[in-house]
Amino acid sequence: MNEFLRRALFLPPQASTLATEVDHLHYFVILTTLVVSTVIGVLTVFFMVRYRRRRPNQPTPHIESPFWMESLFVIVPLSIFLLWFRIGFSQFIDLSTPPPDSMDVYVMAKQWMWKFAYPEGPNGLSVLRVPANRPVRLLITSRDVIHSFYVPAFRIKQDALPGRYTQTWFKATKVGRYPVFCAEYCGTGHSTMRAEVDVVDPDEFDKWIESERRGRVAQRDTAIAPERGAPEPTQMAAEGRRLSAVHGCLKCHSVDGTPHIGPTWLDMYHRQEKMVDGEVLTVDERYITQSMMDPKARQVQGYPLTMPSFQGRLQAPESAAIVEYIKSLRTGEPASTFDRPSEGPVYQEAPTRALGGVTP
The verdict on 273 and 323 lying in the same domain is yes
What is the pLDDT, as a whole number, of residue 190? 93
Domain boundary among 41, 76, 96: 96
Residue 197 confidence (pLDDT): 94
231 C-beta neighbours (distance < 10 Å), count: 15
Claim to verify: residue 110 and residue 205 sit in the same structural domain: yes
Residue 174, pLDDT score: 92
Domain boundaries, position 132: 103-209
Asked, for residue 257, whether it belongs to a domain, the answer is yes
Contacts of 201 (CB under 8 A, 6+ apart): 131, 132, 175
Indicate the angle between helix axes 67-96 and 17-50, nearest 10 degrees: 160
Q: How many domains does the chain have?
A: 3
Residue 351 lies in a domain: no
Q: Are residues 247 and 308 in the same domain?
A: yes
Query: Are 119 and 92 members of one domain?
Result: no
Q: Could you count the other beta carbons within 10 Å of the beta carbon of residue 234?
A: 20
Question: Is 30 a member of any domain?
Answer: yes
Q: Is residue 285 in some structural domain?
A: yes
**What is the per-residue pLDDT for 82?**
92
Residues of the chain with pLDDT under 50: 219-234, 335-360
Assess if residue 346 is contained within a domain. Answer: no
Bond into 265 cis (ω within 30): no
pLDDT at 218: 52
Are residues 88 and 109 both part of a single domain? no
Q: Are residues 163 and 241 in the same domain?
A: no
Q: Average pLDDT, whole number, for the chain?
A: 81
Q: What pLDDT, on the 0 to 100 scale, is given for residue 153?
A: 93
The enclosing domain of 197 has a CATH number of 2.60.40.420
State the pLDDT at residue 352. 33
The predicted structure's pLDDT at residue 164: 83
**Residue 348 maps to a domain:** no
In a domain, 218, yes or no: no
78 with 123, same domain? no
Could you write out the three-class secondary structure of the chain?
CHHHHHHHCCCCCCCEHHHHHHHHHHHHHHHHHHHHHHHHHHHHHHHHHHCCCCCCCCCCCCCCCCHHHHHHHHHHHHHHHHHHHHHHHHHHHHHHCCCCCCEEEEEEEECCEEEEECCCCCEEECEEEEECCCEEEEEEEECCCCEEEEEHHHCEEEEECECCCEEEEEEECCCEEEEEEECCCCCCCHHHCEEEEEEECHHHHHHHHHHHHHHHHHHHHHCCECCCCECCCCCHHHHHHHHHHHCCHHHCCCCCCCCCCCCCCCCCCCCEEEECCCCEEECCHHHHHHHHHCHHHCCECCCCCCCCCCCCCCCHHHHHHHHHHHHHCCCCCCCCCCCCCCCCCCCCCCCCCCCCCCCC
Residue 219 in domain: no
Q: Does 315 lie in the same domain as 250?
A: yes
CATH code of the domain covering residue 303: 1.10.760.10
Q: Specify the pLDDT at position 209.
A: 84
Residue that terminates a domain, selected from 157, 191, 209: 209
User: Looking at the structure, do residues 324 and 281 belong to the same domain, yes or no?
Assistant: yes
Instruction: Identify whether residues 89 and 144 lie together within a single domain.
Output: no
- Same domain membership, residue 108 and residue 69: no
Same domain, 292 and 260: yes
